[in-house]
A and B are shown apart, each in its own frame.
Chain A
Amino acid sequence: GQQLNQSPQSMFIQEGEDVSMNCTSSSIFNTWLWYKQDPGEGPVLLIALYKAGELTSNGRLTAQFGITRKDSFLNISASIPSDVGIYFCAGLGSSNTGKLIFGQGTTLQVKP
Chain B
Amino acid sequence: DTGVSQDPRHKITKRGQNVTFRCDPISEHNRLYWYRQTLGQGPEFLTYFQNEAQLEKSRLLSDRFSAERPKGSFSTLEIQRTEQGDSAMYLCASSSTYRRGGRTDTQYFGPGTRLTVL
CB of A92 within 8 A of chain B?
Answer: yes
Check A50–B105 contact: CB distance below 8 A: yes
Let me know if A33 and B107 touch, CB within 8 A: yes
The answer to the question of A112 belonging to the interface, with a C-beta cut-off of 8 Å to chain B, is no
**Number of contact residues on A: which range applies?**
20 to 34
CB-CB contacts below 8 Å: B1-57 with A? 4, 6, 31, 33, 35, 40-45, 48, 55-56
CB-defined contacts of A98 to chain B, threshold 8 Å? 31, 33, 45, 48, 55-56, 95, 107
Interface residues of B in 74-118 (CB under 8 A from A): 91, 93, 95, 103-112, 114
Which of A31, A40, A45, A88 has a CB less than 8 Å from the CB of B42? A88
Q: Return chain A residues, CB-CB under 8 Å to B31.
A: 98
Establish whether residues B42 and A42, one from each chain, have CB atoms under 8 Å apart when the complex forms: no
B residues with a Cβ closer than 8 A to A are: 4, 6, 31, 33, 35, 40-45, 48, 55-56, 58, 91, 93, 95, 103-112, 114
Interface residues as binary, A38-67 with B (CB distance below 8 Å gives 1, 0 otherwise): 001111110010100000000000000000
Query: Who on chain A is nearest to B45 by CB?
Result: A99
Interface: A25 (CB within 8 A): no
Give the total number of A-B pairs whose CB atoms are below 8 A apart. 67
In the complex, chain A residues whose CB is within 8 Å of the CB of B107: 33, 45, 98, 100
Q: What 10 additional pairs, Cβ within 8 angstroms, besides A43-B109, A48-B106, A102-B43? A: A31-B105, A33-B107, A50-B103, A88-B42, A88-B43, A98-B33, A99-B48, A99-B56, A99-B58, A100-B45
Q: How far is the CA of A48 from the CA of B109 in the complex (A)?
A: 14
The reply to whether A95 and B42 form a contact with Cβ atoms under 8 Å apart is no
Within 8 A of B (CB), among A59-112: 88, 90, 92, 95, 97-105
